[in-house]
A and B are shown apart, each in its own frame.
Chain A
Amino acid sequence: MRNEIELEGIIEDYLNGKLSEAEATAFEQLRLNDPTVDHKVVAHKVFLDSLKDYASNLDLKNKMDHAHDQIDVDALSKKLGPHPSFIVNLWRKNKSAIAVAASFILLTVVTIYSIQQTTEQTGSYKQMSAELSKLKSSTSNLIREVKSSQTTKAAVKPVKFGGTGFAISSNGYILTSYHVIEKSDSIYVQNSKGDMYKVDITYKDPTNDIAILKIIDKNFSLASLPYSLKKGRVGMGESVYTLGYPKDDIVFGKGYLSSQSGFNGDTLAYQVSLDVNPGNSGGPLLDNNGNIIGIINAKESYTDGATFAVKAKFLQEALSSIPQDSVVGKISSVRKSQLYKLEPSKQLSKVQEYVFMVKGYN
């Protein structure tokens, strides 16, 4: 123990250069001869160096603390620190993140909005029966007076409602939209040549918007119907056309089937891209092969070219309501249409004889 203490004293003196030259030489000799002594010297040196570093660092820190105390840190922070407003800081630090978030939100909103636009047809629904103005009706009355002697009675009263209908049998059963005739108490139909016939309502179906009229004149008859009824599914994008009376003359309209469902997803109807006007209601919707696939009944008010047509398969119920023995040459859903593979213009000239203007008076 005693020796150890003395040895350490000597090592310290040696490291600090306090030994005389002779003592130092003797001690170095001892280090060379005795590895344990040498090891102790090295270890002690390392340790003392660490201790010195520690001491100088501590000293430096104390001095710096002293210097630090002379600085008015609060005043400096106010001058140099970030803006005191939390919002401004947040903005400064996260400019890019906020920009990304904002554009993402914007994009999401736009996307959702556009999806809603397409899924919810928010535009109102406008039925296509024409409530003709008095001016227009007076001109049409004139035409009728010239062309038909039978309609002198009707000519006195102005036409209130107008639409389109088409023959579903050769002996005068005519199909139209219910809303065309719903407010009328006396109804006439007029063919493309301008002949007018009085009709009775034989069937009303407000749900499917279908009505069937019967020409009272017993002598009325048509050649067998050129078109047939297509109750099966019609593919999207299929070309379709319609004939109707938005004015006093028959008008042809062409388009394509744009959706299997109608207004707000109504499965009773198709949506077709076809321009129609008031007066087209009740008109037949035909495909290129001359099959009737539906009845035009409405369009969306604020969207162009979105027209709705009741699907042909819902006509079946209406057809079966007619007293079967009174029907001659009923429209068929089995027989192939006579118009099959006929040129469009030829189809039209045939079909137009079977499309009538429906006029309602009350």
Chain B
Amino acid sequence: MSNKLSSSVPTDREVVLGVLNNSEEALNKLYTGYFPMILQFILNNNGDEDDAKDVYQEGIIVLYNKIKSGDFELSSKLKTYIYSVCRRIWLKKLAQQSKKTNNISDFEDVIAIDEDVEQHEEKDRQFDKMQEALLHLGEPCKTIIQDFYINNLSMQEICEKFGYTNTDNAKTQKYKCLQRLKKLFFQS
């Protein structure tokens, strides 16, 4: 990586390894490294800073899932991949807002990434569904579920946190909450 712009971004190999190892440092480097490119693209195509943030984060998630699923091959530069994905996502958003999508000003090469973006969209729907379901679940169920399944707290810890007299009560409560959440999730 000889050119000047690339000096501030991690190498592609570094990123892939960092993602596979869940390295937060690698994520930070990746994120700050390519954000200006996407910001430039969005700002010059009818978007603002918030749009850039949303689109870029979605793009990074697509990249993460791609790398984690194991079938990521470095057939193109990471930069091109991220740019193409974000470009695709932004064009779709523009189309949804029925803004015009011709005359797009491009700053990088573009490769075909339709499949990855479509997969991401499916996952994104699942994500939204889950978020929605958790929102409707209400307290204290939401926190219990999050603590147990997301933050990986033990039943004993949950029992203490919420002041249940014994773990059986906590388990029963968790069971009821999960049943409701499942119902909300699968119904929506």
| Chain A residues near B (Cβ < 8 Å) | 1, 4-5, 8-9, 43, 47-48, 50-55, 57-58, 60-61, 63-64, 66-68, 70-71, 73-74, 76-77, 80-82, 92-94, 96
Contacts and interface: CB of A to CB of B under 8 A. Distances in A.
B56 to A, nearest CB: 8
Given A73-B39, A77-B49, A82-B43, A54 B131 contact: yes
Given A4-B175, A57-B61, A71-B32, A50 B39 contact: no
B126 A53 contact: yes
Nearest to A81: B43
A48 B36 contact: no
Contacts of A93: 103, 105
Interface SS of chain B: helix
Contacts of A68: 31, 35, 53, 57
A77 B32 contact: no
Contacts of A8: 175, 178
A47 B185 contact: yes
Contacts of B130: 50-51, 53-54
Nearest to A67: B31
B55 to A, nearest CB: 12
A96 B103 contact: yes
A53 B119 CA distance: 13
Interface string B131-146: 1000000000000010
25 contacts: A4-B175, A8-B178, A9-B171, A50-B129, A51-B149, A51-B150, A53-B123, A53-B127, A54-B130, A57-B127, A60-B27, A60-B61, A61-B61, A66-B28, A67-B28, A67-B32, A68-B35, A70-B32, A73-B52, A73-B53, A77-B39, A80-B36, A80-B39, A82-B44, A94-B103
B123 A60 contact: no
Nearest 5 Cβ contacts at the A-B interface: A80-B40, A67-B31, A81-B43, A55-B150, A54-B130
A137 to B, nearest CB: 75
A80 B47 CA distance: 12
Given A54-B131, A60-B27, A67-B31, 19 more contacts: A4-B175, A5-B175, A8-B175, A9-B171, A51-B150, A54-B127, A55-B149, A57-B123, A57-B127, A61-B57, A61-B61, A67-B32, A73-B49, A73-B52, A80-B39, A80-B43, A81-B39, A81-B44, A93-B103
B175 A64 contact: no
B172 interface: yes
Interface residues of B, number: 36
B159 to A, nearest CB: 15
B115 interface: no
A54 B126 contact: yes
Contacts of B49: 73-74, 77
Contacts of B61: 57, 60-61
Nearest to A2: B172
Contacts of B149: 48, 51-52, 55
Contact of A60 (B40, B60, B150): B60
A55 B153 CA distance: 14
B79 interface: no
Nearest to A7: B175
A63 B39 contact: no
A77 B178 CA distance: 45
Contacts of B186: 47
A74 B64 CA distance: 27
A242 B155 CA distance: 120
B180 interface: no
B24 interface: yes
A63 B28 CA distance: 8
Interface string B39-81: 1100110000100110001001100100000000000000000
A344 B132 CA distance: 101
B95 to A, nearest CB: 17
A58 B135 CA distance: 14
Contacts of A67: 27-28, 31-32
A51 to B, nearest CB: 5
Contacts of B28: 63, 66-67, 70
A195 B51 CA distance: 100
A8 B127 CA distance: 24
